[in-house]
Amino acid sequence: MSQFWLRVTLILYSIGLAHALLTVFIRRAKLFRVALGAISLAAVFHLVSIVEQAAATRRFPITDFHHSVSFLAFSITCAFLIAYARYRFQALSVFVFPLVFMLTLSAAVSSGARLEDPLLRSGWIWLHVLLLLAGYAMLFVTFAAGIMYILQERELKSKKPRAFHYRLPPLEQLDDLAHKTLAAGFPLMTLGIISGALWAAAEWGSRWPLDPKIALSFVTWLIYLGLIFSRWTAGWRGRKAAYFAIAGFLATVATWGANSGLHSFK
């Protein structure tokens, strides 16, 4: 049943995606209401799918790759809806919706045996995954805001407004969005890493092994820490901060993709 609701969700996401692209590319504002409606409804069904899966397995369903992808898509949708409620940036949907659609698609079509590492069933490891995925979702919005900032800044500096200029939101608000999502995503990521470390310490004592994911996550964390620090102290903002946010997100993707050693889904 959970898979059925996920497919309903997928259809709604595809409707939202199509309408959002039409809105932004041909600038027909009315279509965005359809996109927004479809995405909001999709979020509801997505939640239903997750809850049903949780009820069926009596566990928070993010401990295998397939379900963690689905949960990541759900988190990104929520991050988008929160950001949209505050900023009303339609252009953000062009970044968010395709990714959400692809993630949900891969979660909805993948089937077959889902082997779970018995390690992942234990205790509160789900909290580790939950915090990190929620953090990734926020930092993805930071990344999207950064890209939009760089494009819009280039338009404004070039003094020749082209297609991007008319479609992208104002600079200062983009910077604000990037800052706020960073301020939310970074603590989530930090707590996620800490919870993982605590859990590992409880499991193996002080002798838990270092794997590529752990190493990469530490690099990612340092990049974001650097960004936050320079924002606070040196008043970094705008273009430099946007480039930093993009670098941080690329590191995040590498971290997420590095599934070996301790973090392999066996």
Of 167 and 213, the one with the shorter C-beta distance to another protein is 167
- The token pair at 37 is 């409606």
Of 13 and 89, the one with the shorter C-beta distance to another protein is 89
Of 160 and 207, the one with the shorter C-beta distance to another protein is 160
- The token pair at 266 is 């066996």
Of 71 and 89, the one with the shorter C-beta distance to another protein is 89
Of 172 and 203, the one with the shorter C-beta distance to another protein is 172
Half-sphere exposure of 24 (CA within 13 A, CB side): 22
Rounded distance, CA 214 to CA 224, Å? Answer: 15
Q: Is the dihedral of CA 63, 66, 67, 69 positive or negative?
A: positive
Q: How far apart are CB 185 and another protein at their closest, in Å?
A: 22
Mapped onto helix, strand or coil, the DSSP state of residue 64 is coil
Of 27 and 121, the one with the shorter C-beta distance to another protein is 27
Q: How far apart are CB 94 and another protein at their closest, in Å?
A: 17
Mapped onto helix, strand or coil, the DSSP state of residue 192 is helix
Q: How far apart are CB 170 and another protein at their closest, in Å?
A: 4
- The token pair at 189 is 């990521």
User: Taking a C-beta distance cutoff of 8 angstroms, is the pair 62, 130 a contact?
Assistant: yes
Give the CA distances from residue 228 to residues 82, 130, 244, 255, in Å, rounded to whole numbers and listed in that order: 21, 22, 10, 20
Cα distance between the two ends of the chain: 25
Q: How far apart are CB 38 and another protein at their closest, in Å?
A: 20
- What amino acid occupies position 69? V
Q: How far apart are CB 28 and another protein at their closest, in Å?
A: 5
- The token pair at 211 is 């794997």
Binding site residues, another protein, CB under 8 A:
26-30, 152, 156-157, 159-162, 165-166, 169-173, 235-240
Q: How far apart are CB 159 and another protein at their closest, in Å?
A: 4
